[in-house]
Amino acid sequence: MTERTIVLPRSAFLFLNPSRSCPDTLEARGNAISSHGYLQGLVLHHINYRFRVIRSRPEGPERSPVPGQIMVFDRDEVTNLVIGYRMKFSNMLPTLVGSTKPSEQNEDRNTFVLARPLWGYNGISRSNLTKSINSAPCHLSSSRFSLRYPLPLLGSRSYSAVQGKLSLLGIYSSPLDPSSLAVIFPFFASKKNLFRSDSSVKRLDFGSCRGFSCSLRSGSLTCHRSSVFYTVDPRLFHFIVMYRKMASHIVGYPRMGPKRELKFALESFWDGKSSADDLQKVATDLRCAIWKQMADAGIKYIPSNTFSYYDQVLDTTAMLGAVPERYNYTGGEIGFDTYFSMARGNASVPAMEMTKWFDTNYHFIVPELGPHTKFSYSSRKAVSEYKEAKALGIETAPVLIGPVTYLLLSKPARGVEKSFSPLSLLDSILPVYKEVIAELKEAGASWIQFDEPTLVKDLESYQIEAFTKAYSELESSLSGLDVLIETYFADVPAETYKTITSLKSVSGFGFDLIRGTKTVDLIKTVGFPTGKYLFAGVVDGRNIWANDLASSLTTLAALEAIVGKDKLVVSTSCSLMHTAVDLVNETKLDNEIKSWLAFAAQKVVEVNALAKALAGHKDEAFFSANAAAQSSRKSSPRVTNQEVQKAAAALKGSDHRRATNVSARLDAQQKKLNLPILPTTTIGSFPQTMDLRRVRREYKAKKISEEEYVKAITEEISKVVKLQEEFDIDVLVHGEPERNDMVEYFGEQLSGFAFTVNGWVQSYGSRCVKPPIIYGDVSRPSAMTVFWSKLAQSMTARPMKGMLTGPVTILNWSFVRNDQPRFETCYQIALAIKKEVEDLEAAGIQVIQIDEAALREGLPLRKSEEAFYLDWAVHSFRITNCGVQDTTQIHTHMCYSNFNDIIHSIIDMDADVITIENSRSDEKLLSVFREGVKYGAGIGPGVYDIHSPRIPTTEEIADRINKMLAVLETNILWVNPDCGLKTRKYAEVKPALTNMVAAAKLLRTQLASAK
Ligand SMILES: [Zn+2]
């Protein structure tokens, strides 16, 4: 910082120090501010951020001016200072109110703060100043002004000030509602044509800032508090809005954009249709829009670096330079080439493995590490995003995946011992974290958020110790910064809670209080460290329901009593990337349902409303609208169906099993079906052509008649049936040409479901899913699949599978209602599917497949909760088919094979046949049978990977089947691909299935001759 005594002309930034005052050498020039006593003024040409200092000669006899200093700040610093605006209509200079030197008592939270920033600067170091500016807990706020400057206050509780041009009075309607307006200077309030009349307040009301009053006396405005007087010449003001700064925080935000803008930009770039610049432009616009949106809503802790071109864990891999060898990375900043090669593979090498992000439907890229992995700071994304926001005048908290979570999510690289523990690399990655922290500090960051969601898992003590080690090691780097450790998706176990809350280098802890209600008990019983911030995640980031604000406020009030008023921050339960983006884009939902919902954009507003209410500025209108919506949801006849409730309640406590055991059933079925050994089948869907999609789209849009639609679909089914007969497959499918999605197709035909137009949620990379919303009791008004299955069966003498999606999968791939336990909703869906199963059976369908692709996905993160989930999930599946005859064969299908830990639940599903993914995961599945688990039902571990366009040879498939025969009985083994074929082309499917059947026949011959 340069310090000098200076005389500056008009149009300037005035900075005065009341404690030292300014030397007489500074003279008022031009639009000088005149005032009584030691009034301070700030004037800034905000258009180009040019500023200069002017000074009015101190007037009045009360104090003699003492030589002091005038600070001149550079542009960056000025954007963070309180500013004033020139009034257009009069060219009068507005100013901030100043005061005499504050007593120490005035440092309390109720001090009239507008003048306070002016005091702090003199004589303090640049870094302290920067820190005080950046940690300032308040912002000037106005959407129209595009102005957002934190007031650099030194106190813990503060207010912010907004001054604006008269032409910009929109500030009153948004984003500041009247309740947050503490004061409007009467001089301007009287100008009714310029100001909203209701903004005229004669009395200053600072909320908790009692003791202030304001009155208009003989043309000058006097604000006084205790013995401190602030006198202002009203001609110099247009208005000042003050409100207490709300403590609100957002963990993270969706990146795809309200209409999946990033998806289309990415895919166009990957296809070579647009340039890297085009992609970056879209990304920049999205990031800026998100930051502005949060800033406008009044959020105090706004995250940055939660954007990603593909995945945040991959971003961390890039930051650490931990690129697997096969991508031939040679150092330097990691660009799109290397980054997207890791994400998606390239012509010569495959992508890195992708796996589920905790218990969400998001998938991350698994880091591959080994003892020789070299780490170096190779992606400056966190810093550049922080700076990008800062350039917009928005202070953010950069978010990094914490070092321990990163390592715990990693796996040993290829060629590295399976027993290798990536956690042993902690010492190697921390230096890179230190570099990042140093750069963020240098750029001006005051808070850093470390996402450490693994803290909610059942950790071994050495893993918990790693957190202590990591954050102690980082302590000196982090000094001077506020550090937030953010956890989400479940409660934090007691031992872990105790360990992390005692970390010295951490200033705040974020907890998911939606899925982790037990953490609230811990805070109450174990306590919360004094002086630290609690980021209370009370707004659900995993769902689309409007928050019950009254209930959240009760929770928050209880927490505030424990941690203290200054230390409670209202937050989301996790990143909002797991919910839909913005309700305003939903044109097809009716208003009643819409009133029950809140997507990410609405959740940001909820967080802020709660923070404001907590700070004593409750927006009554917003809260009562919310209460009305909550009660409308409770009482709406669309939600409750007594008959369904009764039927579902009756299910509890009883065991729903088929009367006969599986081997007897298989015998009965075989008599009827007469299948060869190693029967062949496919999982359900056949390639979905552009033509098919068009037909469905046009039918939905009523562009083609039902007759035309049925004709087109019938033709397709007939083609698929003929093809399978040509391949000589034993149990056929109809190919599902009428289905767009395995959940939406059923949801659309069940009551209690609603569908969005743009409710997309990122699944991985550019891929998004649009989960249906289950808002009410689920029932099945009429048969859903019988027409097509019956039609398909009529085309062939071979058994045709009826294809259904199971209740657990429908549940896990939807936004589920939060007003009753998940298992109750699941039971309701199970009853609806049960009716469909029975209708299919009655229509002559002898084999019915009920897919439970997502059963494992719903597994809770904590071991203690697994048994309960598996119990009701498996029960729900059994409910669907407990009523069929022995001769009806029930299949199920699972898309992932990591079932070894839950194999007993899989057996307990009591399906007659299970087809299961196997080839992609290195036949891990078979190991469970190798270890001696007995499986008596039919089983079809996938014999080839349908996710790859590669065509497997007959020998290769036969080899796979042989491996299976080594651990499974010949009479229970089925031969089928890993999953449905809808993403493949016929050019791939035809030879692959031909080879598959050939392999099965080869094995049959070999087995027969072996006998
Ligand atoms: Zn599958």
pLDDT category, 619, cuts 50, 70, 90?
Answer: confident
Instruction: State the Cα–Cα distance between residues 849 and 886, nearest whole angstrom.
Output: 15
Residue 914 Cα to ligand 1 middle (Å): 11
Nearest to residue 896, comparing CAs of 917, 915, 874? 917
Residue 579 Cα to ligand 1 middle (Å): 24
- Judge residue 334's burial from the number of C-beta atoms within 10 Å of its C-beta, 0-12 exposed, 13-18 middle, 19 or more buried: buried
Residue 474 Cα to ligand 1 middle (Å): 44
554-566 mean pLDDT: 92
Q: What are phi and psi for residue 648, nearest 5 degrees?
A: -70, -40
pLDDT at 167 over 70: no
947 is catalytic: yes
The listed range with the strongest mean pLDDT (39-43, 163-167, 289-293, 916-920) is 289-293
Residue 766 Cα to ligand 1 middle (Å): 20
417-427 mean pLDDT: 96
Nearest to residue 603, comparing CAs of 633, 628, 580? 580
Residue 405 Cα to ligand 1 middle (Å): 29
DSSP string for 329-348: --SSS--HHHHHHHHH--SS
Strand partners, 536: 511, 570
DSSP string for 170-201: GGGTTTS-GGG-----HHHHT-TTTS-GGG--
Residue 769 Cα to ligand 1 middle (Å): 16
The percentage of residues in the chain with a pLDDT greater than 70, rounded to a whole number, is 75
pLDDT at 144 over 50: no
What is the reported pLDDT for 57? 34
Residue 366 Cα to ligand 1 middle (Å): 21
State the first-to-last Cα distance of the chain, in angstroms, to the nearest integer. 92
3-class state of residue 114 by DSSP: helix
| Contact (CB, 8 A) for 411 and 353 | yes
pLDDT at 74 over 70: no
Cβ partners under 8 Å of residue 924, min gap 6: 897, 898, 900
| Contact (CB, 8 A) for 359 and 489 | yes
pLDDT at 168 over 70: no
3-class state of residue 488 by DSSP: coil
pLDDT category, 654, cuts 50, 70, 90?
Answer: confident
Tokens of 947: 């996710």
Alpha-carbon torsion (495, 501, 503, 504), positive or negative: negative
pLDDT category, 1011, cuts 50, 70, 90?
Answer: confident
| Contact (CB, 8 A) for 280 and 173 | no
CA dihedral angle for residue 509, residue 434, residue 383, residue 310, rounded to 10 degrees: -80
What is the reported pLDDT for 919? 77
Among 7-11, 721-725, 832-836, which stretch is predicted with the lowest mean pLDDT? 7-11
pLDDT category, 857, cuts 50, 70, 90?
Answer: confident
Task: Give the angle subtended at the CA of 767 by the CAs of 761 and 770, to the nearest 5°.
Answer: 35
Nearest to residue 196, comparing CAs of 163, 215, 169, 216? 169
422-450 mean pLDDT: 97
DSSP string for 758-776: S--EEEETTEEE---EEEE
Among 561-570, 714-723, 878-887, which stretch is predicted with the lowest mean pLDDT? 561-570
Residue 711 Cα to ligand 1 middle (Å): 28
Region label for 489, one of left (φ > 0), alpha (ψ between -120 and 50) or beta (otherwise):
left
What is the reported pLDDT for 246? 66
3-class state of residue 268 by DSSP: helix
DSSP H or E stretch at residue 473: helix 461-473
What is the reported pLDDT for 897? 66
Q: What is the pLDDT of residues 577-594, one digit of tens each?
A: 999 999 999 999 999 999
Cβ partners under 8 Å of residue 638, min gap 6: 592, 593, 775, 776
pLDDT at 67 over 80: no
Residue 798 Cα to ligand 1 middle (Å): 23
105-132 mean pLDDT: 28
Among 67-71, 297-301, 731-735, 1006-1010, which stretch is predicted with the lowest mean pLDDT? 67-71
Catalytic-labelled residue, pool 36, 46, 734, 947: 947
What is the reported pLDDT for 653? 75
Residue 685 Cα to ligand 1 middle (Å): 10
Among 117-126, 331-340, 449-458, which stretch is predicted with the lowest mean pLDDT? 117-126
pLDDT at 378 over 90: yes
pLDDT at 545 over 70: yes
Residue 852 Cα to ligand 1 middle (Å): 9
DSSP string for 637-679: TTT--HHHHHHHHHHTT-----SS-HHHHHHHHHHHH-PPSS-
Q: What is the pLDDT of residues 922-981, one digit of tens each?
A: 677 788 888 888 888 999 999 998 888 889 999 999 999 999 999 999 999 999 999 999
pLDDT category, 651, cuts 50, 70, 90?
Answer: confident
pLDDT at 774 over 80: yes
Strand partners, 761: 769
Residue 917 Cα to ligand 1 middle (Å): 7
Instruction: State the Cα–Cα distance between residues 606 and 602, nearest whole angstrom.
Output: 6
Mean pLDDT of the chain: 78
Instruction: State the Cα–Cα distance between residues 516 and 528, nearest whole angstrom.
Output: 16
Q: In this structure, how many other beta carbons lie within 10 angstroms of the beta carbon of residue 600?
A: 26
Residue 684 Cα to ligand 1 middle (Å): 9
pLDDT category, 446, cuts 50, 70, 90?
Answer: very high
For residue 425, give the amino acid letter: L
Cβ partners under 8 Å of residue 900, min gap 6: 924, 925, 927, 928
What is the reported pLDDT for 266? 97
3-class state of residue 2 by DSSP: strand
Tokens of 817: 């209602």
Which residue is listed with tokens 């199971």? 806
Instruction: State the Cα–Cα distance between residues 863 and 648, nearest whole angstrom.
Output: 27
Cβ partners under 8 Å of residue 542, min gap 6: 360, 489, 514, 515, 573, 574, 578, 579
Instruction: State the Cα–Cα distance between residues 498 and 134, nearest whole angstrom.
Output: 30
Instruction: State the Cα–Cα distance between residues 833 and 819, nearest whole angstrom.
Output: 22
Q: What is the pLDDT of residues 251-268, one digit of tens each?
A: 999 999 999 999 999 999
Which residue is listed with tokens 């980021």? 535
Tokens of 892: 């199920």
pLDDT category, 75, cuts 50, 70, 90?
Answer: very low
Whether the link from the prior residue into 67 is cis, omega within 30° of 0, is no
